[in-house]
Amino acid sequence: MEFITQNFAPIMFAGLIVFLLFGFPVAFSLGACGLFFGFVGVELGLLPEALLQALPLRVFGIMQNDTLLAIPFFTLMGLILERSGMAEDLLDSIGQLFGPVRGGLALAVIFVGALLAATTGVVAASVISMGLISLPIMLRYGYDRRIASGVIAASGTLAQIIPPSLVLIIMADQLGRSVGDMYKGAFVPGFMLTAMYAGYVILLAIFKPKWVPALPLEARTFREPSGSSGLPSLLVLTTVATAAAVFFAEHIADVHTWWTGQPVTSVATDETIVVSMCVGVMLAFLIAVANRLLRLRLLSRIAERVTFVLIPPLLLIFLVLGTIFLGVATPTEGGAMGALGAFIMAMVRGRLSMSLLKQALNTTTKLSCFVVFILIGSTIFSLVFQGVDGPRWVEHLLTGMPGGQLGFLILVNVLIFFLAFFLDFFELSFIVVPLLAPVAHKLGIDLIWFGVLLAVNMQTSFMHPPFGFALFYLRSVAPTKAYNDKVTNERIEPVTTMQIYWGAVPFVLIQIIMVGLIIAFPAIVSSGLDKEVAVDLDKIGAEMQANMPKDDSQPAPEPAPGASAPAGGEAPAGAEEDPMKAMQEQLDRDAGKK
């Protein structure tokens, strides 16, 4: 019995693992483990009975958490966009654009995956939609099955790291940090990961061209009446929009100065990127609208098609992320605006129906309940675990590792990587992150940087064979039997499960490389965050004293008869102290303490 009382925290953690290995749902496993060990702890005298009375308050605290409202909003936005045909139009248009080059279809899938990630934030919606639309086309034109399945699964998981990611919302809530700051920190790593995926496809196009063939001429439908591709006009439009965005980015500080009326010398990187891209995109859209309304015939068919298909989701991204980055809206308000924007886009396209709305609301409700129940279960477990000094046990276990910060980060990332074989990102966020965050904070690690690092690592949970959820999503829509293609009438062989697994391995390695890059170069995350403003208390005190109005109307009091003036101009004993001098001395003392 003494052994149990002295090692109650590790026994409780081991008990949770046993609950999970039995195959019970994670939410119920967490809650049952917490309640069981809570009652045992009360019987052993390790916990006061009053501790369990805090459970209702904690549950009501979850329900009152405004940050979690962003989850159903962003989920609803993504599902409406996915079911309104936006993904199909994007893949069709971008596939035609990149089709003439080797690996073009794979590049189009990665590019569209990044766009869907920035508009939906839901991995399942991205993987399933791209698997249904692009996988048959890639198989039709001879893509290697491993490459095709790996690209689709990996590009779908970009929704986990590119804002507005649901993972980042949960991570910010568990770390006690701002969702907006988490989005800013993940902005650059998300698009770096996208570029690394594209770089892998380009290398395959160079060294293994038969694996990623170009789209044949007869499959390129958006052509001019003369037979030309129409790409030069799109290139000119892109150049003009890019030049406008770069010019605006170089002078964005001047625009801020003009807008606020106060001198602004620097602007945050994420704000500069979002606002400048918005300017370039709006210019391209206005040119395309003017070309169509006035029939100027300045743009080709492919240029108009790409512009009108690409601009609406980009504007939605700017509406959501731009308002969050600029501080105009909270993430919850941004999600609400995004959901409304998705409704409007679906309505304009004529694809908003009652059936679509019911499906989207039904899936959103299921996912939101799933998250809330896991959070309630993790709250019960964490309350009891903290009551038996579990966090102190974890802290002593991890801070005693050799290597300091680097040793801690390597151990944590290896642990997360292997736990991701069995747990998804929601479960990892609710179980593991609350245990790791206090230790990271004590070691002096910035929690925003730490959260983004863990989010990139948790992305592998969707790609791990054999339990990766993205692989399951793709397996559910990939052909399991041979079939005759409707366009070419050729016999298409099925995609096997092992081909899906092997296709995911290179992208898992890319994700691990990205984790190493973030550890080696922390500025990848920190460069997107707002710089801390240093406050000089001495300078503020001096300015306050200088700006204090002086009252010279009252003459200085005459010294008493027989009293001599104090040497050095010092005030006589008992004289009233100068309030500004006292304030300055207090500021100096506070500065000295800091």
Its sign, for the CA torsion 511, 516, 517, 522, is positive
pLDDT given for residue 270 in this prediction:
65
| 94 residue type, one letter | I
Contacts of 158 (CB under 8 A, 6+ apart): 113, 114, 117, 126, 190, 193, 194, 197
CA 80, 374, 392 angle in degrees (round to 5)?
135
| 391 residue type, one letter | P
The encoded tokens of residue 238 equal 């892109």
pLDDT given for residue 485 in this prediction:
75
pLDDT given for residue 571 in this prediction:
46
19 CA to centre of own chain: 30
pLDDT given for residue 510 in this prediction:
93
The encoded tokens of residue 55 equal 């459970």
pLDDT given for residue 201 in this prediction:
92
pLDDT given for residue 200 in this prediction:
93
Rg over alpha carbons for the chain, rounded to the nearest Å, is 30
Q: How far apart are CA 364 and CA 374, in angstroms?
A: 16
Q: How far apart are CA 538 and CA 524, in angstroms?
A: 34
Its sign, for the CA torsion 324, 335, 315, 151, is positive
The rounded percent of the chain whose pLDDT value lies above 70 is: 85
Residues with pLDDT less than 70, the chain: 1, 120-122, 125, 218-219, 222-224, 227, 270, 400-401, 528-540, 548-594
pLDDT given for residue 549 in this prediction:
62
Q: How far apart are CA 130 and CA 136, in angstroms?
A: 10
pLDDT given for residue 507 in this prediction:
92
Single pTM value for the model? 0.76
Cα-flanking dihedrals φ and ψ of residue 487, to 5°?
A: -90, -50
